[in-house]
Amino acid sequence: MLSYENKLILAPMVRIGTLPMRLLALRYGADIVYSEELIDWKFLRSKRRYNEILETVDFVDQTDGTIVFRTCAEEKGKVVLQLGTCDAGRALKVAKMVENDVAAIDINMGCPKEFSIKGGMGVALLANPEKAHNILKTLVDNVSIPVTCKIRISETPEATFKLVETLVSSGIKAIAIHGRTRDERPQHPVHTDIIRYVAERIHIPVIANGGSKEIEKYSDISKFKELTGCKSVMLARAAEWNCSIFRKQGLLPMDAVIEEYLKLAVDYDNSPSNTKYCVQNILRELQETPRGRQFLECQTLEQICDIWDLGEYCQQKQSQYQKMGIQGRWQVTPDRLEPPNKKIKSAEILDDVTEMKVCFIRASFNDLNLPKAKLHAWAGKNGQKLPTYHTEQVAKLFRTIITFDGKKYTSSFWEKNKKFAEQGAALVCLFYLGLVTEEELIKLGSIIK
């Protein structure tokens, strides 16, 4: 059972707290790592799959094939799933889905963003302690792993304590306190005194959070512990900027951290957009340098890796994964998507349509070589009329039939948006026109067996 005594923790961070960053934090010395906040109803759209190629457990969104949460053996017993919720029933359903794959469940009661508050989540729960208590108690009573929550402070130490007492009475195992009120922003000083006031009066571990502005090196963590009277500390921004903050031996240079991060992103087939976002938040103002600008233009993992001399590493790993059967980056197993319940209506529509199963992986293209653009350019050069597109939507999936030179083409892979569906159909058309080969489609990650 996970213990929260004397622990260094990677805080939950949207888009930052995906698998590669969590593993990096653990390798540098973090004891516990939180996932990014995952919204309950979105999580409930996913299904658990074991990914034999990556040896990961994936929760795959059944409407579009994206990965909602990916975890692996290295973080077993150390990863906490943070949930955004306003409903005990939904929270419990998610908790049951992940109970055997994560070490604990945390409920986000600290997010001040409009999206959360409007949905009754995040800090909105702190204005409704009874509801917050009910969510926690429902989980505590029904799951086998520890349950915790993360809150912001109230205006006074006494009010914060009162709130915490109510939450703690649900049976949670620890509570993380971000030492700012719901209206304070990251640049405001953190109220270490209020965290201390609560920590001295509560019998479960209090995890102190909010000190990143003053935590520039490992030894600063001890100062934050002293100020807050807490033995456990949770770091967000300090880790986002330089994850080696968790290293006892001291900070590593930014480039070394990026290299380690990128290797993990490649190893775990992280999406290029998420990888880029995380690296961007390490580079920060250095994005203005020539190398930073080159980085900003990158679209694929390989292009990003190239800048840190890891292009070859990326290429080898990706081709190895492709040979083993991984088809796309963020559509790990698109062939196993739940088929739309009403497929395209009549078989006869498809009678005269040339069909092939390809998916469109945006990251495999830049703005200049998109399939539609290639097809239109070819049509222009050969004096042909431009193709026309007819797209059908079923549930949240799309499929396009393209008509070109009197013939119809489509991909039987349903895409998650109209633009992708059109590009997928254009790829099929290009293939039958002989303008793209099967080998090229495999390289683009488009072929679905």
And the tokens for 259?
């290299």
Residue type, 393: Q
Question: Distance between alpha carbon 244 and the CA centroid of its chain, in Å?
Answer: 20
For ligand FNR, the closer CB: 13 or 147: 13
Site membership for ligand FNR, residue 174 (CB under 6 A): no
Q: Give the sheet arrangement for strand 46-51, strand by strand.
A: 46-51, 56-61, 67-72
**Closer CB to ligand FNR, residue 37 or residue 58?**
37
Which parts of 46-105 interact with ligand FNR (CB under 6 A)?
A: 82
Closest CA to 26 of 73, 81, 74: 74
- Of the candidates 128, 131, 124, which has an alpha carbon nearest to the alpha carbon of residue 108? 124
Binding mask 127-166 for ligand FNR (x = CB under 6 A): -----------------------x----------------
Exactly one of 8, 9, 10, 16 binds ligand FNR (CB under 6 A); that residue is 16
Stretch that binds ligand FNR, among 106-114, 163-171, 294-302, 339-347 (CB under 6 A): 106-114
Q: How far is the CB of 22 from ligand FNR (least distance, A)?
A: 13
- Residue range at the interface with ligand FNR (CB under 6 A); choices 140-148, 206-214, 372-380, 422-430: 206-214
- Rounded CA separation 323/311 (Å): 18
Total residues interacting with ligand FNR, rule: CB under 6 A: 23
Taking the least distance from each CB to ligand FNR, the nearer of 281 and 412 is 281
Q: Which helix (H) or strand (E) holds 82?
A: strand 79-84
User: What 8-state DSSP symbol labels residue 308?
Assistant: T
Q: Confirm or reject binding of residue 227 to ligand FNR (CB under 6 A).
A: no
Toward ligand FNR, which CB reaches closer, 111 or 397? 111
Only segment of 49-57, 85-93, 135-143, 236-244 that touches ligand FNR (CB under 6 A): 236-244
CB of 234 to ligand FNR, least distance (A): 7
243 is an active site residue: no
**Closest CB to ligand FNR among residues 24, 441:** 24
Q: Which of 210, 272, 334, 424 binds ligand FNR (CB under 6 A)?
A: 210
Interaction of residue 192 with ligand FNR, rule CB under 6 A? no
What would the 3-class secondary structure string for 99-160 be?
CCCCCEEEEEECCCCHHHHHCCCHHHHHHCHHHHHHHHHHHHHHCCCCEEEEEECCCCHHHH
Options 6-14, 48-56, 216-224, 425-433: segment touching ligand FNR (CB under 6 A): 6-14
Cβ atoms of residues 93 and 425 within 8 Å = no
* N residues, the chain: 449
User: Which amino acid, one-letter code, is at 69?
Assistant: F
- Residue 108 φ/ψ region, left for φ over 0, alpha for ψ in the -120 to 50 degree band, beta for the rest: beta
d(CA 10, CA 80): 10
Q: Cβ(257)–Cβ(242) under 8 Å?
A: yes
Contact pick of 22, 182, 196, 237 for ligand FNR (by CB under 6 A): 237
Which tokens belong to 395? 């549930």
Which of 240, 260, 269, 392 forms a contact with ligand FNR (CB under 6 A)? 240
Task: Specify the stretch interacting with ligand FNR by CB under 6 A; choose among 12-20, 222-230, 242-250, 325-333.
Answer: 12-20
Smaller CB separation from ligand FNR, 209 or 270: 209
Please compute Rg for the chain using Cα positions.
24
> Interface with ligand FNR includes 22 (CB under 6 A)?
no
Per the residue annotation, which of 86, 111, 230, 305 is the catalytic one? 111
Question: Per rule CB under 6 A, is residue 40 in the interface with ligand FNR?
Answer: no
Q: Toward ligand FNR, which CB reaches closer, 18 or 46?
A: 18
Asked if 62 and 280 touch (Cβ cutoff 8 Å), the reply is no
Burial of 70 (0-12, 13-18, 19+ CB in 10 A): buried
Residue 108 is a binding residue for ligand FNR (CB under 6 A): yes
Q: Among 207-215, 257-265, 333-341, 380-388, which window interacts with ligand FNR (CB under 6 A)? A: 207-215
**Contact (CB, 8 A) for 301 and 308:** no
The contact set with ligand FNR (CB under 6 A) reads 11-14, 16, 36-37, 82, 108, 110-111, 150, 178, 186, 209-212, 235-238, 240
Q: Catalytic residue positions?
A: 111
